[in-house]
Structure formats: C-alpha cells, structure tokens
C-alpha cells in the first residue's frame, strides 16, 4: 500500500510517500520520498511559532514540495489538462488564495500518481496551519480520486518508531522495532507531555498528562528567560552539556512539582516560575546560565523518569516508546536507555530525523488507519481539530 502523507500542524511543511506492508502482524515500511521545510528561521524573531505566518508559509510551500516529492519518488508524470472539478476545488481552497493559484497552475498537469491513499494530519496543532494541509489534501483527493485518511499527529509520533530509516524496516533487522503490548508511550514535545497506554494497535488511553506547560514549552520559556534563542531546547541542552562531568555544587535546588502525586500527571509551570524568581537578581553570565541549564535538565529527567516508572508499574508494560521533539535531548535519551536496560524493557525511540514533526510518521499512522478503514473518510467531514486527543 502506497501512501502520500502531508503534515502541516505546526511550523514544518512536510510531504512523504511511503509503502507499507505486512498488516498489523508484521508491519514494514519503505520510504519512497520525503521532504520537509522547517519554518524555524521565519518564527525565530517572534520567539515562538506565529500561527498566521505558519499558515502563509504552508500555503506557499505545499505545491512545490509536492512536486519535488513526487519527482523524487518517480511518481511525477505530466498529463493533458482535463476537467477535474475545478469549481469544487476553488471552494475548498477559497481561504488559501495563494495555494489555490499554485494548485490550479500545477496539479492539473500532473498525472494521477500511483498511490493508494492520501493521509493528512487533522490535529492536534495550530488550527490555521492544520486547515491548510487538510484543504490541500482534500483538493488532491478530489482532483485525483484518491481516498483520504485523516491522521492524529500524536499517533504519528508514537508509530514513528516503526520506521528504522533503512528502507524496508524490520526486514532483515536483528532488532526489529516490534511493539509488544501493552505498550506505553511517553510523548514529549513543544505542545504535549503525556503518557499514553496502548493495549493494542490503535487503542489508546491517556493515563498521565501535563496540567500546565509541556516539557518542550518549559525548555523554550526558560531559554527565553535567559536570553537564549528560540527554540530553547537545543540551546539549554548545549549549555548544560558544558557542565557535565564537572564538579560543582547545586546552587539552585529546583523544585519537582507533582513528583510525589498519586497519579501519572506532570506539572512544569511551578518549576518555570521558581527559575524566574531565582534568576531575577542574578548576573546571568555564561557560567550561571550553564549551571541553571544543567540543573533544569536534570530536574526534567528526574520528573519524566519517575512518572514513567509509575505508569509502567501500574500497567505491566512490555514496550516503552518515546516520541516528540524533546527526545532529541541527549540526557533524556541516555536516562531512558539506561532505565530500560536495567528493567529489561523493550525501548523504542525514533531515529533522530523522526523526532521532530515530519510526514513519514503521518504516513505510518495513515497505513494502520487505512487498514482499519479501507474506504477512507468522507472528505466533507474532515475538519481541523486543534485539541484533538488520542482515544
Ligand atoms: O515535536 P516538536 O518538533 O514540535 C511540537 O511541539 O510538536 O517539538 C519541538 C520542541 C521544542 O519545544 C524544542 O525546544 C524541543 O522540542 N527540543 C528540545 C531539544 N530539541 C528540540 N528540547 C530539549 N532538548 C533538545 N535537544
Ligand atoms: Zn509534534
């Protein structure tokens, strides 16, 4: 089954084509083409993602990225322009005039590519950004008569571990990325921090989540307090690294909100406020910043580990999956690798390029959703859902 996947939930415009086989028993994925355009530079001066700018960038970039991806996958062939429901497409893309223009100029000349499904992220994320991708996918589905599969972005992050970056994943691999159920997924990104129990394929239960800020958001906000550029996660992590292996006394003594609460929920805003007060009257030289970065990172590792252990203990978990942009953090990776070895847990972490938002993971989730619903969704019923939850 070949899938064309589209992701525009935040500040990455991404399109991929992949092939899945093996069904639920033995899923394998082969990447055919993949392109991603990050908007980080566009948003940097605002210190965060600016929704209307994200929407504008997606509108501008989707058609060129589509062409590039199809070309890369040997799926780009020209055709005589035929009538293809132009009026309906004008309606669908009414609110994205720039996208409509480039769509009408380019897509009618492209022959229907040999893909079985189009998968698109419909939430959670920034609604203006999600709508661009959804409307684009609807227009393509209509123009080419290819069924459309709406995908939950968080499901994408979880299932991204099934792609090992080696073409047909799992095929001859000694360490196949097999999910053994029940599995637990720790999702840590700029917008989410949640522990999701997966009893079987496509069955999710959120058993813990942040009550306020997401982990990535905390990294970004603390970086901002210390005048570090956006996104703050990698900056904090770089600074903290300069203090690893060096003897020094913890001077900040940071709190760990909710660490002993009788549930698997998280809270990071108290930690952020505490740091704000602690640095208020300090001379923020590089040494102080680095020390704070290290203590903050250690505190986060501690909280994430403690809550994950609690969730594992309660549910007889066999596989631990960690996904989302924050797992690019070396210390967090290391801590969970050590923990899983000790506990003899099957740990699955996506390869580096799949930690941030991408379309490969949307294609993988789309594959399973298409197995469950081979006809695809009614395109009129698909809407952006900014706060979509896994169920
Ligand atoms: O999943 P993601 O790409 O986007 C969404 O939020 O959906 O995650 C981005 C987040 C940002 O908050 C960024 O600061 C954080 O991941 N991040 C990191 C690191 N690299 C990215 N946080 C800590 N350490 C890192 N090395
Ligand atoms: Zn994400």
Q: Which two tokens stand for residue 143?
A: 């123009």
- Closest ligand 1 atom to Cα of 216: 12
pLDDT of amino acid 166? 59
Sheet of 117-123: strands edge to edge?
A: 28-38, 12-21, 2-7, 117-123, 148-152
Question: What are 36-48's pLDDT values in tens digits?
Answer: 998 888 888 777 7
Angle, CA 60 vertex, CA 191 and CA 83 arms, to 5°: 120
Counting ligand 1 atoms within 8 A of each CB, the residue from 217, 222, 231 with the most, and so the one to mutate, is: 231
Ligand 1 centroid distance, CA of 10 (Å): 12
Atom of ligand 1 nearest to the CA of 214: 12
Specify the ligand 1 atom closest to the Cα of 324: 1
Q: Which ligand is closest in space to the CA of residue 328?
A: 1
Atom 1 of ligand 1, residue of closest alpha carbon: 325
Question: How many other C-beta atoms are found inside a 10 Å radius of the C-beta of residue 53?
Answer: 16
pLDDT of residue 39: 85
Residues 6+ apart with CB under 8 A from 139: 89, 92, 93, 103, 107
Ligand 1 atom 22: residue of nearest CA: 233
Residues in Cβ contact with 122 at an 8 Å cutoff, skipping those fewer than 6 apart: 130, 134, 150, 151, 152, 382, 383, 384, 385, 388
Q: How confident is the model at residue 170 (pLDDT cuts 50, 70, 90)?
A: very low
Task: Return the ∠ at Cα 38 (arms to 276 and 178), rounded to 5°.
Answer: 90
- Of 166, 158, 155, 150, the closest CA to residue 31 belongs to 166
DSSP assignment letter at 181:
S
- Cα torsion 238, 195, 175, 173 to 10°: value is -90
The answer to whether 322 and 309 have CB atoms below 8 angstroms apart is: no
DSSP 326: G
pLDDT of residue 174: 38
- Rounded distance from Cα 72 to ligand 2 centre (Å): 25
pLDDT tens, position by position, 215-263: 999 999 999 999 999 899 999 999 999 999 888 787 899 999 999 999 9
> Which atom belonging to ligand 1 lies closest to the Cα atom of 11?
4
User: CA of 317: how far to CAs of 182, 261, 313, in Å?
Assistant: 5, 21, 7
Structure tokens at 94: 């009414």
**Ligand 1 site-directed mutation target among 233, 294, 322, most atoms within 8 Å of CB:** 233
Q: Which ligand is the nearest neighbour of the Cα of 11?
A: 1
Ligand 2 centroid, distance to 256 Cα (angstroms): 25
Q: Which of 7, 126, 325 to mutate to test the pocket of ligand 1 (most atoms within 8 A of CB)?
A: 325
**Six-digit token pair at 326?**
């924050």
pLDDT tens per residue across span 287-302: 999 999 999 999 999 9
Centre of ligand 2 from the C-alpha of residue 154, in Å: 7
Ligand positioned closest to the Cα atom of 332: 1
Residues flanking ligand 1, CB < 6 Å: 10, 189-191, 216, 219-220, 231-234, 237, 324-326, 328-329, 356-357
Q: How far is CA 64 from CA 14, 106, 182, 186, 261, in A?
A: 11, 9, 41, 34, 49
Backbone torsions φ then ψ of 177, nearest 5 degrees: -80, 75
Q: Work out which ligand 1 atom sits closest to the CA atom of 231.
A: 14
Counting ligands in written order, the one closest to the CA of 10 is 1
Say what the pLDDT of residue 172 is: 40
Closest residue by CA, ligand 1 atom 10: 190
Query: Which domains, from first to last, does the chain contain?
Result: 2-168+354-381 (3.30.420.40), 183-350 (3.30.420.40)
pLDDT of residue 43: 80
Please state, rounded to an integer, the average pLDDT across all residues of the chain.
93
The ligand placed nearest to the CA atom of residue 214 is 1
Distance (Å) of CA 16 to CA 30, 108, 358:
11, 20, 8
Instruction: Judge whether residue 348 has pLDDT over 60.
Output: yes
Cβ within 8 Å of residue 70, ≥6 positions away: 17, 33, 76, 110, 113
> What is the predicted pLDDT for the residue at 41?
81
In 55-160, where do the E strands start and end? Answer: 117-123, 148-152
Lookup result for tokens 């619903």: 373
Indicate the top mutation candidate among 188, 326, 355 to test ligand 1's pocket, ranked by most ligand atoms within 8 A of CB. 326
Q: What is the pLDDT of residues 350-387, one digit of tens each?
A: 988 889 899 999 999 999 999 999 999 999 999 999 99
For the CA of 356, the closest atom of ligand 1 is 3
Q: Which of 11, 190, 224, 239 to mutate to test the pocket of ligand 1 (most atoms within 8 A of CB)?
A: 190
2-7/12-21 β-pairing: antiparallel
pTM: 0.94
> 61-79 burial, b if ≥16 CB within 10 A, otherwise e?
bbbebbbbbbeebebbeee
């Amino acid at each position: 089954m070949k899938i064309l996947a589209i992701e525009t939930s935040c500040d990455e415009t991404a399109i991929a084509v992949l092939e899945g086989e093996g069904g639920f028993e033995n899923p394998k994925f082969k990447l055919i083409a993949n392109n991603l355009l990050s908007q980080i530079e566009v948003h940097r001066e605002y210190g965060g993602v600016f929704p209307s700018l994200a929407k504008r960038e997606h509108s501008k970039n989707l058609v060129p990225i589509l062409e590039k991806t199809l070309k890369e996958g040997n799926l780009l062939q020209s055709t005589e322009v035929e009538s293809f429901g132009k009026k309906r497409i004008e309606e669908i893309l009414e609110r994205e005039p720039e996208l409509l223009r480039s769509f009408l100029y380019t897509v009618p000349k492209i022959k229907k590519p040999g893909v079985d499904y189009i998968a698109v992220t419909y939430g959670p994320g920034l609604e203006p950004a999600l709508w661009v991708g959804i409307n684009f996918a609807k227009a393509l589905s209509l123009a080419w008569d290819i069924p459309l599969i709406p995908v939950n972005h968080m499901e994408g992050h979880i299932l991204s571990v099934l792609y090992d970056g080696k073409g047909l994943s799992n095929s001859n691999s000694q360490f196949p990325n097999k999910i053994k159920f029940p599995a637990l997924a720790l999702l840590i990104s700029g917008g989410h921090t949640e522990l999701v129990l997966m009893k079987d394929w496509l069955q999710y239960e959120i058993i813990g989540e942040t009550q306020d800020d997401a982990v990535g958001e905390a990294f970004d906000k603390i970086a901002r307090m210390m005048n570090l550029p956006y996104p703050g996660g990698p900056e904090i992590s770089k600074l903290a690294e300069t203090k690893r292996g060096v003897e020094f006394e913890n001077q900040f003594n940071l709190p760990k909100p909710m660490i002993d609460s009788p549930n698997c929920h998280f809270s990071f805003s108290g930690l952020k406020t505490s740091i704000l007060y602690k640095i208020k009257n300090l001379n923020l030289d590089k040494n102080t910043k680095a020390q704070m970065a290290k203590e903050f990172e250690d505190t986060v590792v501690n909280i994430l580990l403690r809550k994950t252990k609690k969730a594992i203990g309660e549910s007889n978990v066999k596989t631990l999956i960690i996904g989302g942009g924050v797992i690019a953090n070396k210390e967090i990776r290391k801590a969970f690798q050590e923990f899983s070895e000790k506990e003899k847990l099957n740990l699955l972490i996506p390869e580096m390029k799949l930690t941030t938002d991408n379309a490969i993971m949307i294609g993988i989730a789309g594959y399973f959703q298409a197995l469950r619903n081979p006809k695809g969704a009614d395109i009129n019923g698909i809407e952006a859902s900014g706060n979509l939850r896994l169920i």
